[in-house]
A and B are shown apart, each in its own frame.
Chain A
Amino acid sequence: MSAIGRLLWVVLAAATALFLVAPLLVVVPLSFSSGSFLEFPPPGLSLRWYKALWQSPFWRQAGLNTLIIGAAATAIASLLGTSAAIGLWLAPLPCRRAILGLILSPMIMPVIITAVALTFAFAPIGLAGSHWGLILAHAALGAPFVVVTVFATLSGFDRALLRAASACGAGPITAFRRVLLPLILPGVVSGAVLAFATSLDETVIVLFLGGPEQRTLPRQMFAGLKDTIELTILAAATVLIAASTLLLVAARLLAARSARLAPAAPR
């Protein structure tokens, strides 16, 4: 490659990266602004918007809702997704691919369709406008991520280990708990992180299914943008960004740790 070609390459890559992180470059500094308006660059630096975020009962309730719904949905998604992945991996089902496709369909389904369908389905049984309705909906959105990551982890799992556990006297539940689960845990955790991240920034379903009691952070931001243009939104956004980043870093570290522990599989 010529020098000019290489230069073009670098410029293009830098431009792409800049395009991807540009929103952060505006949002994060602005959240520390001492001014009251969306002006860039900020007139001065302060933590007033974080203070406002912390002191507002609306934002606090929204944060709490986000955590409750996200945690519960993640727990359900991890449980169901892990079971589904193990079941598909173990059972010699003839239509495995079709079943996998069905399980993964929420990933490609437009969220608005899921939201409309869930609204119609949940309203008659009293799940609309309830925490449980949102938890179940978010679990359905998150479970495919868990299935994908656990399934990928299982593909490198040496099945002889399950036979070995059984030959050692471990019944199916003991073998699952003491051999299979510890070894696929990184897959479960990274799936759970993705499921939580999905719930964290999910807005459409919350708009449809959530009542005033179920306002989550994204929903509160959406409302805040319409009503009052406050920089609290940017502080909330920065908190969300920080949370997502931390989660992803944690997932990466876990995956690296497990890769070091178990480059398993037979030679």
Chain B
Amino acid sequence: MSDPLVRFDRVAKSYDRGTVVIPDLSFEVGRGEFLTLLGPSGSGKTTTLMMLAGFEAPDHGRILLEGRNIIGVPAHKRNIGVVFQSYALFPHLTVAQNVAFPLSVRGRPRAEIAERVRSALAMVRLEGFDDRRPNQLSGGQQQRVALARALVFEPKLVLMDEPLGALDKQLRAELQAEIRRLHRELGVTVVYVTHDQEEALALSDRIAVFNEGRIRQIGPPQELYDHPCDPFVAGFIGENNRVEGEALGRDEDGWLAVRLAGGAVMKAAPVDVPPGARRVLLSVRPERIALAHAEAEHLGADALSATVVETMFLGDHVRVRARLADDCVVTVKRPAFANDPRLRPGARVALAWSAEHAIAFPADQTIAGRLHAAERA
């Protein structure tokens, strides 16, 4: 990035001189970009945001805002808007007074404040709510006020810490659209923290996937979805099946041949698999698996035989869970129109996928362990 707005340069942070939250973090945020920090709780994403806001101080490293090191600059002098999960509206002030607060502490003239508060409330579609108190508003309305308050002083950078975490699903979708619109219309740079991968996919220009205080992968949503760099990212962004297998070797096109339990040999794109590795972990998206009500032997060497465990009709799609030879259960997503009444529990089926939709990771015990830990969190 030639001229980033924000740059983290080898930032480290630990709490109580013991627990290391962030060992060594470097990344950049481009001007006008919508970057989401995504990760399970305790992965360091919120700490990162709080350091950028100025509420936490890093132990080492530099944080640059427009090329200037802001370590040591107190939060109130950073000119960064912040939206909190708890809304953090001032309960003793009206909606208009809340939105006016950043302007009035900056000593703006009264007429200008009134005008900008009016347009900020219009921007979040809360005209006419000026004299209400925060406790007279719904959660969604409160968060709109918080958005207006964070944007009214026209900061270049706005930070949002799980702003939709306390809202129900429908309201969340509505406010996601609103936030996307505001980002587009105002051209403001947003750094957004969430643990909800769907939200991250819906909103972001780029996503940084956090785990254990490190960025595992950073990139546009589709890149992370299609080309995860490790099993953690594969499992965290969208749904993924994991199947263990034995690496046999690479062909001339670079595909890795993997023998699965039961004998079928599948091809996959290897990621970070060292040449001598034996055990690998295949990662395949549920919507990329083809399923046929047939015996695998009749279909060819690259079909897997499986037994249906259960079939769920979910309106727009059907999910079939099927057990492989090694008791590993995979999920298959099929369009609703392909619903097949014969896919009852116990039915014999064949599964297959094309090589480009399967990724082989080294079946490193520690990575698998971490993955499970992350899943539990």
Stretch among B27-35, B57-65, B83-91, B295-303 lining the A interface: B83-91
In the bound assembly, the distance between CA atoms of A80 and B105 in angstroms comes to: 27
* Cβ–Cβ contact A167 & B80, under 8 A: yes
**Using a CB-CB cutoff of 8 Å, which residues 48-92 of chain B contact chain A?**
53-55, 74-77, 79-82, 84-92
Q: Which residue of A lies closest to B79 (CB)?
A: A169
**Interfacial chain A residues near B75, Cβ < 8 Å:** 163, 166-167
Q: Which residue of B lies closest to A174 (CB)?
A: B105
Please pick, from A170, A175, A178, A262, the residue contacting B91 in the complex, using a CB distance under 8 A.
A262
**Interfacial chain A residues near B76, Cβ < 8 Å:** 165-172, 175
* Cβ–Cβ contact B86 & A170, under 8 A: no
Q: Which residue of B lies closest to A266 (CB)?
A: B86
**Interfacial chain B residues near A266, Cβ < 8 Å:** 85-87, 166
CB of B26 closer than 8 Å to a CB of A: no
* Cβ–Cβ contact A267 & B105, under 8 A: no
B152 shortest CB reach to chain A, Å:
9
Main secondary structure on A side of the interface with B: helix
* Cβ–Cβ contact A261 & B82, under 8 A: no
Please pick, from B79, B88, B101, B166, the residue contacting A170 in the complex, using a CB distance under 8 A.
B101
CB of A160 closer than 8 Å to a CB of B: yes
* Cβ–Cβ contact B106 & A169, under 8 A: yes
- Give the A interface residue count (CB, 8 A): 25
**Using a CB-CB cutoff of 8 Å, which residues 229-267 of chain A contact chain B?**
261-264, 266-267
In the bound assembly, the distance between CA atoms of A158 and B54 in angstroms comes to: 18
* Cβ–Cβ contact A166 & B105, under 8 A: no
In the bound assembly, the distance between CA atoms of A206 and B149 in angstroms comes to: 53
CB of A183 closer than 8 Å to a CB of B: yes
**Interfacial chain A residues near B80, Cβ < 8 Å:** 167
* Cβ–Cβ contact A178 & B105, under 8 A: yes
**Interfacial chain B residues near A168, Cβ < 8 Å:** 76, 101-102, 105, 149, 153
**Interfacial chain B residues near A267, Cβ < 8 Å:** 86, 139, 166
In the bound assembly, the distance between CA atoms of A164 and B98 in angstroms comes to: 10
In the bound assembly, the distance between CA atoms of A166 and B139 in angstroms comes to: 22
**Interfacial chain B residues near A167, Cβ < 8 Å:** 53, 75-76, 80-82, 150
Would you give the 0/1 interface string for B90-108, flagging 1 where the beta carbon is closer than 8 Å to chain A? 1110000000011001100
A173 shortest CB reach to chain B, Å:
10
Assuming the contacts A170-B76, A171-B76, asked whether A163 and B88 have C-beta atoms less than 8 A apart, the reply is yes
CB of A79 closer than 8 Å to a CB of B: no
**Interfacial chain A residues near B89, Cβ < 8 Å:** 164
A107 shortest CB reach to chain B, Å:
30
CB of A161 closer than 8 Å to a CB of B: yes
Main secondary structure on B side of the interface with A: loop
* Cβ–Cβ contact A158 & B153, under 8 A: no
A205 shortest CB reach to chain B, Å:
38
* Cβ–Cβ contact A160 & B105, under 8 A: no
In the bound assembly, the distance between CA atoms of A163 and B159 in angstroms comes to: 13
B189 shortest CB reach to chain A, Å:
15
**Interfacial chain A residues near B77, Cβ < 8 Å:** 169
CB of A179 closer than 8 Å to a CB of B: yes
B70 shortest CB reach to chain A, Å:
14
Would you give the 0/1 interface string for A136-175, flagging 1 where the beta carbon is closer than 8 Å to chain B? 0000000000000000000000101101111111111011
B137 shortest CB reach to chain A, Å:
12
In the bound assembly, the distance between CA atoms of A266 and B77 in angstroms comes to: 26
* Cβ–Cβ contact B74 & A171, under 8 A: yes
* Cβ–Cβ contact B82 & A164, under 8 A: yes
CB of A182 closer than 8 Å to a CB of B: yes
In the bound assembly, the distance between CA atoms of A170 and B75 in angstroms comes to: 9
In the bound assembly, the distance between CA atoms of A266 and B75 in angstroms comes to: 22
**Interfacial chain B residues near A263, Cβ < 8 Å:** 91, 135
CB of B319 closer than 8 Å to a CB of A: no
CB of B10 closer than 8 Å to a CB of A: no
In the bound assembly, the distance between CA atoms of A261 and B97 in angstroms comes to: 14
**Using a CB-CB cutoff of 8 Å, which residues 124-164 of chain B contact chain A?**
133, 135, 139, 149-150, 153
* Cβ–Cβ contact A169 & B166, under 8 A: no
Residue of B75, B89, B135, B139 with most chain A CB atoms under a 10 A cut-off: B75
Please pick, from B82, B101, B135, the residue contacting A163 in the complex, using a CB distance under 8 A.
B82
* Cβ–Cβ contact B106 & A261, under 8 A: no
Please pick, from B54, B90, B153, the residue contacting A164 in the complex, using a CB distance under 8 A.
B90
* Cβ–Cβ contact B105 & A164, under 8 A: no
In the bound assembly, the distance between CA atoms of A262 and B94 in angstroms comes to: 11
In the bound assembly, the distance between CA atoms of A267 and B138 in angstroms comes to: 12
Q: Which residue of A lies closest to B101 (CB)?
A: A168
Assuming the contacts A158-B88, A179-B90, A261-B92, asked whether A166 and B54 have C-beta atoms less than 8 A apart, the reply is yes
Q: Which residue of A lies closest to B133 (CB)?
A: A261
* Cβ–Cβ contact A164 & B88, under 8 A: yes
In the bound assembly, the distance between CA atoms of A262 and B133 in angstroms comes to: 9
In the bound assembly, the distance between CA atoms of A108 and B153 in angstroms comes to: 51
Assuming the contacts A160-B86, A163-B55, A166-B54, asked whether A183 and B92 have C-beta atoms less than 8 A apart, the reply is yes
In the bound assembly, the distance between CA atoms of A163 and B90 in angstroms comes to: 11
In the complex, 30 of the A-B residue pairs with CB atoms within 8 angstroms, ordered by the A residue number, are A158-B86, A158-B88, A160-B88, A161-B88, A164-B88, A164-B89, A164-B90, A165-B76, A165-B90, A167-B75, A167-B76, A167-B81, A167-B82, A167-B150, A168-B76, A168-B101, A168-B153, A169-B77, A169-B79, A169-B102, A169-B105, A170-B101, A172-B76, A174-B105, A178-B105, A182-B92, A261-B92, A263-B91, A266-B87, A266-B166
Binding site for B on A (CB under 8 A): 158, 160-161, 163-172, 174-175, 178-179, 182-183, 261-264, 266-267
Closest 6 CB pairs of A and B: A266-B86, A167-B82, A164-B88, A262-B91, A168-B102, A160-B88
A sample of 19 more A-B contacts (CB under 8 A), given A164-B89, A168-B102, A169-B102, is A158-B86, A160-B86, A160-B88, A163-B84, A164-B88, A164-B149, A165-B76, A166-B54, A166-B75, A167-B75, A169-B77, A169-B153, A170-B105, A172-B76, A174-B105, A183-B90, A263-B91, A263-B135, A267-B86
